[in-house]
Amino acid sequence: MVGLDKVNDFVVRFANVNGTGSASANLLFTKSIFRMGLFVCPKNFFPSNIQGLPTWYEVRVNDKGYLGRRDGIDLMVAVNAQSMLADIKSVKPGGYLLYDSTKPLHSDYIREDLNYIGVPMMEMCNKEFTDPRQRLLFKNIMYVGALSALLDIEFNVLESLISEQFAGKEKLIAPNIKALKLGSEYIKANYKFPLEIRVERRNLTDNMIMMEGNAACGLGAVYAGATFAAWYPITPSTSVAEAFGDYCHELRVAEDGKHNFAIVQAEDELAAIGMAIGANWNGARAFTATSGPGLSLMNEFLGLAYYAEIPVVLVDVQRTGPSTGMPTRVQQSDVMEAAYASHGDTKHILLFPSTPKECFEMTADAFDLSEQLQTPVMVMTDLDLGMNDHVCAKLEWDDNRKFKRGKVLNAEQLEKLERYGRYLDVDGDGITYRTIPATHPTKGAFVTRGTSRDEYAVYTEEGAPYERNMERLLKKFETAKSYVPAPQVYNAENEADYGIIFYGTSTQSAEEAIDLLKEQGIHLDALRIKSFPFNQTVEDFIDAHDKVFVVEQNRDAQLRSLMLIEIGASPKKLVPVLNYEGLPITADVIVKKIEKKLSRVIKKANKLQQNPIS
């Protein structure tokens, strides 16, 4: 069998059993290739139970800078009997199957168009190691060692990573390296190596890091000056609060050992956001993190914060819905719910990061925006970005940066006022002046309420003051367009007939799809949405093109719906390109769907030319 011939351009998938310690071995593999200067795109597909069900870890390797997932498996590491038959079927013709040959494969598992590489992993582990737990763990390390020979991964890189991982636990270094060598040496003694698919050092990632988006959000909150977090555990957002806690213990401890932060695991999501709102009202910078079901529960409090105009930051790590959905699969499924959260007329600020670096930056920016605009700001990440490692540029922070707390009156300013109007629009931008409790002994106090009130926070049920207040909130939302991050425009001239819009974790695959389509002679202008509300650039981009493809990972084209509502764009002009199976979207899917939709557009145009309407 002739194998595939690919250098620095292939996909490896690991098929494991959840809870067997495979995650650290698979990450070791990913990091080793990253250390060789190549771009890697790892994706972890895991079940929502604790232990026992199949789990997959997929790594795309390339030297072109593409960081999105790719269709097709070139090499399968199949060490899970439960899923092996399906795993074998998923490998591309001419691909490779690395498996545990301690027991012979059943004839049902044999494909004539695959290359089989058997390594008696369990047999070797039982012979070389005595501890039952170590046998299970080192089986995973052994297949990494086998891959090092098969794919020509520099062995010293793996040794260095093992030493770093177990620094302070030196007794574990030698047996792990022994397991690596067992796998590597078996391949060298029994197979031709390296394979036609292999890696070559490129040194393309010297100024880059690998990081999870949730960790970046947690760190961004620390740098933004957050001192309080309230949260309730929910996949996939739990590690945002955990990362915030870890970084606070490292960075927010005073010289006397006292903590200058507080983290509360609340009894539910309602309590969590209520505590965060209360802390912000009292002058702290506070936030919470959740996912779709939690966001649904938080709607009422989001409406209160919007109407009472209290800053609060919420990190929404989206997953599939509705209801419980698939808790460990990805979608961009909360866009509409987040934009208009709560009953009544509300509009919320949304930020859409696409990399861990942007998770860090946008979380920090969210605290500034929330205080400047005195309203909830939601950072809309998702499971893919939040819980997978992503290659991105190194994080940067300007130590001279000052927090932007917005219009907050101090005691001296309050002293000069004859009467303080909490909801009085002095500057005509819809943003009023707030106070922090106890700023002045007698001035600046007001009743914070979710009921209707006038400009001086005095309760009223008269229609005119209520209407003025709602119009002012709408004006403030219009003002927000100049505060939030502007969209990224890829082609300033907008020369193509067709455009493409995308956001969040659809970005990497959409960028690759643009290149693939260009190779076929299909040129697209591109725009990436970074925030809501949309500014004029988005409307101008849509107006400049005959058709605009909107790439999303949900069923109902939620961002497209937002643009129809807020911009008034023509439904015929905005063409949805959707993926909602729960796995991250690929460039291949985007290309196929755009090709299909374009063929329909061209056929329709030709038909109109042949049969013009008189």
Beta bridge partners of 96: 75, 115
CATH number for the domain spanning 568: value is 3.40.50.920
Q: Summarize pLDDT for 361-382 with one digit per residue, the tens.
A: 999 999 999 999 999 999 999 9
Q: CA angle, 579 as apex, 59 and 589 as ends, to 5°?
A: 60
Question: CA-CA distance, 423 to 72, in Å (whole number)?
Answer: 57
Q: Which residues contact 490 (CB under 8 A, 6 or more apart)?
A: 514, 525, 526, 527, 528
On whether both 435 and 533 belong to a single domain, the answer is no
Query: What value does the mean pLDDT take over residues 278-287?
Result: 97
Q: Which of 107, 120, 77 is nearest to 95 (CA)?
A: 77
Residue 88 confidence (pLDDT): 97
Cβ atoms within 10 Å, residue 195:
24
- Contact between 417 and 443 under an 8 Å Cβ cutoff? The reply is yes
- Contact between 191 and 359 under an 8 Å Cβ cutoff? The reply is no
Question: Which of 346, 365, 393 delimits the end of a domain?
Answer: 393
Give strand ranges (E) for 185-329. Answer: 208-212, 228-231, 262-265, 286-290, 312-318
On whether both 444 and 553 belong to a single domain, the answer is no
Residue 402 lies in a domain: no
Residue 544 confidence (pLDDT): 95
Question: Which of 190, 223, 243 delimits the end of a domain?
Answer: 190
Average model confidence (pLDDT) for the chain?
Answer: 95
Residue 275 lies in a domain: yes
Residue 487 confidence (pLDDT): 98
Q: Summarize pLDDT for 122-153 with one digit per residue, the tens.
A: 999 999 998 888 888 999 999 999 999 999 99
On whether both 419 and 445 belong to a single domain, the answer is yes
Looking at this protein, which amino acid is placed at residue 495?
Answer: E
Residue 203 lies in a domain: no
Domain count, the chain: 4
On whether both 372 and 429 belong to a single domain, the answer is no
- Which of 1-10, 234-243, 446-455, 594-603 is predicted with the least confidence, judged by mean pLDDT? 1-10
Residue 399 lies in a domain: no
On whether both 333 and 450 belong to a single domain, the answer is no
Q: Summarize pLDDT for 412-427 with one digit per residue, the tens.
A: 999 999 999 999 999 9
Q: Summarize pLDDT for 25-46 with one digit per residue, the tens.
A: 999 999 999 999 999 999 999 9
Does the pLDDT of residue 574 top 90, yes or no? Answer: yes
Q: Summarize pLDDT for 301-326 with one digit per residue, the tens.
A: 999 999 999 999 999 999 999 999 99
Radius of gyration, CA atoms only, the chain: 27
On whether both 600 and 479 belong to a single domain, the answer is no
Torsion angle, alpha carbons of 192, 196, 197, 198, to 10: 70
Helix (H, G, I), strand (E, B) or coil at 60: strand
* Range(s) of the domain holding residue 358: 211-393
Question: Which of 429, 456, 485 delimits the end of a domain?
Answer: 485
Q: CA angle, 168 as apex, 175 and 213 as ends, to 5°?
A: 95
Does the pLDDT of residue 407 top 60, yes or no? Answer: yes
Does the pLDDT of residue 478 top 70, yes or no? Answer: yes
Beta bridge partners of 12: 59, 75
Residue 614 confidence (pLDDT): 47
CA-to-CA dists, residue 369 to 170, 234, 379, angstroms = 47, 26, 11
Which pLDDT band holds residue 110 (cuts at 50, 70, 90)?
very high
On whether both 470 and 496 belong to a single domain, the answer is no
Residue 416 lies in a domain: yes
On whether both 265 and 387 belong to a single domain, the answer is yes
Which pLDDT band holds residue 612 (cuts at 50, 70, 90)?
low
Q: What is the length of the chain?
A: 614
Question: CA-CA distance, 289 to 283, in Å (whole number)?
Answer: 19
Residue 368 lies in a domain: yes
On whether both 114 and 92 belong to a single domain, the answer is yes
What are the start-end ranges of the H helices in 333-451? 335-339, 356-373, 383-387, 411-416
Question: CA-CA distance, 15 to 17, in Å (whole number)?
Answer: 7
Residue 366 confidence (pLDDT): 98
Residue 136 confidence (pLDDT): 86
Q: Summarize pLDDT for 246-276 with one digit per residue, the tens.
A: 999 999 999 898 999 999 999 999 999 999 9
Residue 163 lies in a domain: yes
Residue 100 lies in a domain: yes
Question: CA-CA distance, 363 to 314, in Å (whole number)?
Answer: 9
- Report the share of the chain in percent with pLDDT over 70: 97
Determine the distance from the C-alpha atom of residue 143 to the mean position of all C-alpha atoms in its chain, rounded to a whole number. Answer: 29
Beta bridge partners of 489: 527
On whether both 446 and 331 belong to a single domain, the answer is no
The end-to-end CA distance of the chain, in Å, is 63
Which pLDDT band holds residue 477 (cuts at 50, 70, 90)?
very high
On whether both 71 and 53 belong to a single domain, the answer is yes
Residue 20 confidence (pLDDT): 83
On whether both 495 and 533 belong to a single domain, the answer is yes
Residue 51 confidence (pLDDT): 67
0.85 exceeded by pTM: yes
Question: CA-CA distance, 431 to 479, in Å (whole number)?
Answer: 8
